[in-house]
Amino acid sequence: MTLRVLCVFLLSGWLSVSAAALPIPENGPALRIQGSNTIGAELGPALVEGLLQEQGLLKIHRETPDTANEQRIVGQTAQGQRVVIEVAAHGSSTGFTALKNASADLAASSREIKDSELLALQTLGDLKSPAAEQVIAIDGLAIILNPANPLQHLDTEQLARIFAGEVKTWEELGSRGGAIHLYARDDQSGTYDTFKELVLSRRGKSLSSAAKRFESSEQLSDAVSNDPQGIGFIGLPYVRQAKAVAIADGASQAMLPLNSLIATEDYPLSRRLFFYLPPDSRNPWAQALATFAQSPQGQAIVATSGFVSQTVQAMSVAPNALMPEGYQSLSRHAQRLTVNFRFAEGSASLDNKARQDLARVLDYIKRNGKTERAVTLVGFGDLKDDPARADLLSKLRAMAVRRELVKNGVVMREVRGFGALMPVATNSADEGRIKNRRVEVWVY
């Protein structure tokens, strides 16, 4: 740390522990995090503990104040000074409100920031800039049935009608068993928030009052596995003895909640989890936590916390008759990486997560010796009035990724565009069109 930087920290009420360590405030918390219950319940505190360990702090532990859904993660310097980081998990919107009134340094959100929130926070800088908007993990829900239920797949429209109480019997779905029994998490649950956002609210539905509500994920899963007429939704780690079904959205192929399909965000009930930190923030702990969350150590914590990490891996894809012949040939001879690059409306510009993923993909390619004609990029688009435009945009998006990889020494094998073929989501909603605008990375 330079003398000039050290003076800045001292003048702003910070004390430096050592040349390599983050500065510690003389009074109050080192960092205040507010927002998403999904992140704040376990993932956020676990990432904070990892950062404190990286900083060499001792006696790291959690303290629970009197206010529900709030925690303090505490460490101690070698000199005995307490370092406190506060985490308040009262919902994503509360994080942006806290940034506005300066009661938080970092917002945790299980959804993308809204335009109205961007406008309200514009004095803090551009919260959509790559440095400000940080995707830290991917989340996914499983739809579970009793193992004896013969049903193998559902679509998101059916799910909305089932949990709204409009579809009342299994026979209406081509199965058997009589009346459908609904099981759901409680209103405080981030899992419920996810289901409401991805399934119910998108179709103007509300959860049926007949649903049995559970605070415990384990108890909900066990209740469904013991009820031949039961159906529920649950986070991936809690499927237990129940049976997960494949889910389709619009014309997409039905998909099981596999980690690989959630990592690529192809699975319909997947979503991104975010940290938002003001670009003009003077709190070095906020940037340090965001950086740690993106690191291999941070992504390992994401995985152990029950979410899906962004660590890049290669996976085999079995060809099937629904794939174009060129795609079938690719799947026979190459492996797909567990990352998709996605794009804004009508654009060939990478979004913020895609920019983060570029570094991870480059690292994978170089570590595995695939810089010389071993990488193929495959672009897709959403359905357009003009199919030729969809084909062109799919190729342009693949070329945008190619340009970035070539800059870093990768010699491509091939770049292909499949237009609007093989959608992974419905094209009738903005979220679905965004998912369909993607570039896949294949390696030989």
pLDDT in tens, 113-164: 989 999 999 999 999 999 999 999 998 899 999 999 999 999 999 999 999 9
Count other C-beta atoms under 10 Å from residue 440's C-beta: 24
pTM: 0.82
The rounded distance, in Å, linking the Cα atoms of 269 and 255 is 10
- Give the pLDDT confidence score for residue 1 in this predicted structure: 36
Does residue 309 register a pLDDT over 50? yes
Q: Does the fold of domain 312-443 match that of domain 3-132+277-304?
A: no
Q: Which own/partner pairs from 168-174 qualify as long-range (CB within 8 Å, at least 24 positions apart)? A: 170/229
- Give the pLDDT confidence score for residue 16 in this predicted structure: 40
> How do 212-214 and 181-185 pair as beta strands?
parallel
Does residue 294 register a pLDDT over 60? yes
More confident site: 248 or 189: 248
- Give the pLDDT confidence score for residue 197 in this predicted structure: 84
Does residue 442 register a pLDDT over 90? yes
The rounded distance, in Å, linking the Cα atoms of 186 and 212 is 9
- Give the pLDDT confidence score for residue 118 in this predicted structure: 96
pLDDT band at 3 (very low <50, low <70, confident <90, very high): very low
- Give the pLDDT confidence score for residue 5 in this predicted structure: 37
- Give the pLDDT confidence score for residue 347 in this predicted structure: 62
More confident site: 237 or 317: 317
- Give the pLDDT confidence score for residue 4 in this predicted structure: 36
For 312-443, the fitting CATH number among 3.40.50.2000, 3.40.190.10, 3.30.1330.60, 3.30.470.10 is 3.30.1330.60
What's the token pair of residue 250? 């619009």
Is there a contact between 96 and 120 (Cβ–Cβ < 8 Å)? yes
Backbone angles phi, psi at 9, to 5 degrees: -65, -40
Domain 139-261 is classified in which CATH homologous superfamily?
A: Periplasmic binding protein-like II (3.40.190.10)
Beta carbons within 8 Å of 18's beta carbon, 6+ residues apart? none
pLDDT band at 277 (very low <50, low <70, confident <90, very high): very high
Beta-bridge partner residues of 246: 153
- Give the pLDDT confidence score for residue 391 in this predicted structure: 82
pLDDT band at 193 (very low <50, low <70, confident <90, very high): confident
Please give the share of the chain, as a percent, with pLDDT higher than 70.
Answer: 92
* Of 234, 195, 197, nearest in space to 93 by CA: 197
What's the token pair of residue 129? 């800039």
277 CB burial (10 A radius; 0-12, 13-18, 19+): buried
* Mutual angle of helices 352-367 and 387-407, in 10-degree steps: 50
Mean pLDDT of 70-76: 97
Does residue 17 register a pLDDT over 70? no
Is there a contact between 253 and 152 (Cβ–Cβ < 8 Å)? no
What's the token pair of residue 348? 């060939």
Mean pLDDT of 383-410: 86
Mean pLDDT of the chain: 89
Domain ranges within the chain, ordered by starting residue:
3-132+277-304, 139-261, 312-443
- Give the pLDDT confidence score for residue 145 in this predicted structure: 98
CATH class of 3-132+277-304: alpha beta
Mean pLDDT of 80-100: 94
More confident site: 187 or 99: 99
- Give the pLDDT confidence score for residue 151 in this predicted structure: 96
Mean pLDDT of 53-67: 95
- Give the pLDDT confidence score for residue 43 in this predicted structure: 95
In a 13 Å sphere around the CA of 78, the CA atoms on its Cβ side amount to 6
Mean pLDDT of 392-414: 92
Look at the block and give the residue holding tokens 């093989």: 422
- Give the pLDDT confidence score for residue 433 in this predicted structure: 73
pLDDT band at 427 (very low <50, low <70, confident <90, very high): low
Does residue 346 register a pLDDT over 70? no
Task: Determine which of 55-59, 102-106, 195-199 has the lowest per-residue pLDDT on average.
Answer: 195-199
Does residue 101 register a pLDDT over 80? yes
